[in-house]
Structure 1
């Protein structure tokens, strides 16, 4: 029993010593627990640039032909010749097709013969009148004979005039056998083939000719811009740019032609029409395009890359870089974003720098390490990849 009690006391003594040593060690300061400095966040930065900035109003428009004509026949006949190629550019007066002219030429010949007959009769009747008039003065002819001859001359004169009118009418019909383009433009799809009978009542006609040089565009903008646009038009020509539907390609540059005489009340918009030279034929009737109206140019506007602008619960903001390489969250007011550049109405100064990439690792007061050259390019690429991953 005494031996067991001795062993139990020895074990308790050892355990007590171990616990005391552990508490002593835990209470002692350890070098690994010293404060570790927070590393600077690598970012890409850009200067706030002061420059002249064009102010645009963006809308959606439809390209409209200046003139569009369906070439129809004004007479009935068989198409004997097609002289144009579908999609061909034509000038006003160019021959497009020909209708069999023989029936109409025969009518002209008939009316011409009638005219010649009546003219001959008129000459003879006038000669008789010239002979009877002196005889009346001498008493060798009666006044009734002279009056009858005068009436016959007048009747034949009227017949000649009627014949001349009929000849002109038949010549007009004969001219209609040549179907010509009434305007400069581009031909569309041919609606009737050679050898068929064409009629004035054919709805589709022969072909559609569309004028594309110059060409126009109708687009819409909010009615709140009406006064500004009207004022700019009073100062001089207003430039309008046409871009592809995805906004990546500039198609042409033109001039604002007019503002529609009414505001569309159902949508609260105004309709505008612009004209373009369309020298490269990139604008085509019926094409949907993006319209950009140059309202004015903002002198000494402050711009930053659009990627610098972030959105928060309180609105737009940027991270401005202080002199000690820390960042501040700066609320900003955006006037417009165009061409990858944001025009800042207020919130930053021209002497400052802002963070354009790497913001998601920042908070107000964070220290930053500004990247340059290839490092900045790699950071941009990495950021784009991370944003793309859901």
Structure 2
């Protein structure tokens, strides 16, 4: 029994020593950990794309949908009853002022002109006879060889012959005017429509359908509507000759620039809009009468700070941008007045020349270290 008791005591001592060793090691670890542990690594900077806030002249624009209309549009009609002899143009072709378009049958009018010329020649002969009689009677009355009645009658015959000749000349001039109607020429330059008649068709002034229509193509009007709140600024810009309008074909990016030609004298009370008409050079014939275009009316330009619109973030407290300062991103509240060609115009919050983040904002918070990178072209 004494031997068993001795073994138990030995095992107890060994266990106690082991526990003491473990406890000592744990204490050493606790006491020495603060001096031997390394400082936690600093967070890696976030790679972001940046852009510079710029202060520059920014135009004040008003966008609207406009309609292209020709300045002049002429419907060609016949002024005499006759038939078409010839058509001198191709459908849809460009024509110049004075170009011959239609030739009408003029044989009947030619015959009437010949008759009027014969009548005029006969009456001129009658006038010559009357003038000779007047001259003879005037000489005889001086010699006492005739009476005053004969002189007066000769004078009356002469005046009658003169009046007849004037009437004959008027009839002849009228017939020549009628003949000029058989040659239909372009009164303006532009594009002509398809001819509604062909050679051999009978035409008359009472016809409702025109023979063809010519639309002036350069310049043209673009008509659109703007809100009445812009009217005062537009009128001031027109006085200073600073207003301009840009008409763009949807889906193509092609555009024409022009000036304001007219502002309607009333505002539509049901919509609060006023009609504006711009005049466009259209030398390339880009704008076709009747089409719809996107119009941009530039009222004036003003100095303003702009940043790319992708830099502007939104929160419950308002708009803000991440501004880069000392290698860190800082939240900068801003006020946006409007947008222009992918840029936001800043009313307050930036003075210009600040670097703002335009890509990578999702990984940022106030004070996050950043590493600027080159922004991709076209981004």
* TM-score (ref. length: structure 1): 0.80
Alignment correspondent of 1:285:
289
Matches within 5 A, 1:1-390: 41-246=46-251, 249-299=253-303, 301-328=304-331, 330-362=332-364, 364-365=365-366, 367=368, 369-370=370-371, 372-373=373-374, 377=376
Q: For residues 65-108 of structure 1, what are the alpha-carbon distances to aligned partners after superposition, in whole Å with 9 as ceiling and x for unaligned?
A: 11111111111111101111122222211111100111111111
Q: Radius of gyration: which is bigger?
A: 2
SS in 2 for 1:217: strand
Deviations 1:174-222 (A, max 9, x none): 0110000111111112111121011212222111111111122122211
| 197-206 or 116-125, larger mean C-alpha shift | 197-206
* Structure 2 CA distance for partners of 1:103 and 1:312, relative to 1, 3 Å: farther
Deviations 1:109-159 (A, max 9, x none): 111111111111111122112212222343433333332332222222111
TM-score when normalising by structure 2: 0.82
Deviations 1:205-258 (A, max 9, x none): 111111111122122211111111111222224222221234x61411111222
Query: For structure 2, which runs of at least 5 residues remain unmatched after alignment?
Result: 1-29, 31-38
Question: Which 5+ residue runs of structure 1 have no aligned equivalent?
Answer: 1-28, 381-390
Runs of 4+ in structure 1 deviating by more than 6 angstroms, as ranges, are 34-39
For 2:314 and 2:222, the matched residues in 1 are separated by 35
| Pair 1:76–1:237, CA change in 2 (3 A) | farther
Cα pair distance change 1:218/1:39, threshold 3 Å: same
| Cα distance change on mapping 1:220 and 1:173 into 2, 3 Å | same
- 2:9 aligns to what? none
Partner Cα separation in structure 2 for residue 334 and residue 86 of structure 1: 54
1:55 to partner: Cα distance = 2.5
The root-mean-square deviation of aligned C-alpha atoms, in Å, is 2.6
1:45 and 1:370 in contact (8 A); partners too = no
Alpha carbons of structure 1 residues 331 and 126: separation in structure 2 relative to 1, 3 Å: same
CA pair 366-200 structure 1, distance change in 2 beyond 3 A: farther
| CA distance, structure 2, for counterparts of residue 371 and residue 191 of structure 1 | 69
Q: Distance in 1 between matches of 2:159 and 2:46?
A: 110
